[in-house]
Amino acid sequence: MAIFIDNSTKVVVQGLTGQQGSFHSLRNRDYGTAIVAGVTPGKGGQKIEGIPIFDTVSEAAVETGANVAVSYVPARFAPDGILEAADAAVGLVVCITEGIPANDMARVYKHLKRSDSTSLIGPNCPGLISPGKSNVGIIPGEICIPGPVGLVSRSGTLTYQVMHELTTMGIGQSTCVGIGGDPIVGTSFIDCLERFEQDPETKLVALIGEIGGDEEEKAADFINANMETPVVAYIAGFTAPPGKRMGHAGAIVSGSKGTAQAKAEAFEAAGVRVGKNSTEVAELVKDALASIG
């Protein structure tokens, strides 16, 4: 098994006719992902490398059975694109787009929570991959191998780094999810932790957090109360100065809140070992897996 995506995933790409959409989608198709359709209003009836283009997500879903949508469209159009996919009853939307205003995402988030039939990963995220099964987004498949470690991260770059460290050690992954670093995202750490806890193929979870907000503290409370699956964590931003945004829109320390130290202490109090860098995280994962047997 895997979480969110697997061999049954059929992907419709919003923005397939654009440069980024076509590059990553064709690469993911080469990986083995079923890219069944693209959507660009006004270009319905065309094809990109044999993939049919539709004017709407609804048409694409009806004609191809697409159950996942991924968006590469510009920030001004992305919120409506997410809502269009949700209205077409697509079960999962992955939004790679960055720079979407928080007010727009608040509107989208409320709509999705009311309907509760479509999950959103992102925005401003690298997507997700279930190695050997499906790849939706911009994660390079060549740095992954199938295995027992689930990975969830706010940072795309650190997702890649930890995945590479694990793969170099011969430790494979069940699913790797980049949830995005914006203040408002569709899927939280807890959403992913719940799914990993229920996945029989995931024997351990690696969680990569960063400064800003309190999502890591919430995740620590959830782990302490609800998880039997071991978790190893890494928090980026121990040297970040207060009041300055570091990389992501959500990565800002305000006063004593949102610091890397506070997050690390919350995890350690929940019995989660915290690595100081990506290499140490991989070593902690290796040790934990050995102790599981």
Whether 164 is catalytic: no
Backbone region of residue 170 per phi and psi (left: phi > 0; alpha: psi in -120 to 50; beta: other values)? left
Report yes or no: 20 and 72 within 8 Å, Cβ to Cβ.
yes
Q: How many of the other CB atoms lie within 10 Å of CB of 70? A: 29
Report yes or no: 234 and 274 within 8 Å, Cβ to Cβ.
yes
Amino acid occupying residue 67:
N
Contacts of 187 (CB under 8 A, 6+ apart): 119, 120, 121, 122, 177, 179
- How far CA 266 is from CA of 68, 195, 224, 274, in Å, comes to 34, 21, 10, 10
One of 24, 111, 164, 248 is an active-site residue; which one? 248
- β-pair partners for 176: 129, 151
Catalytic residue positions? 248
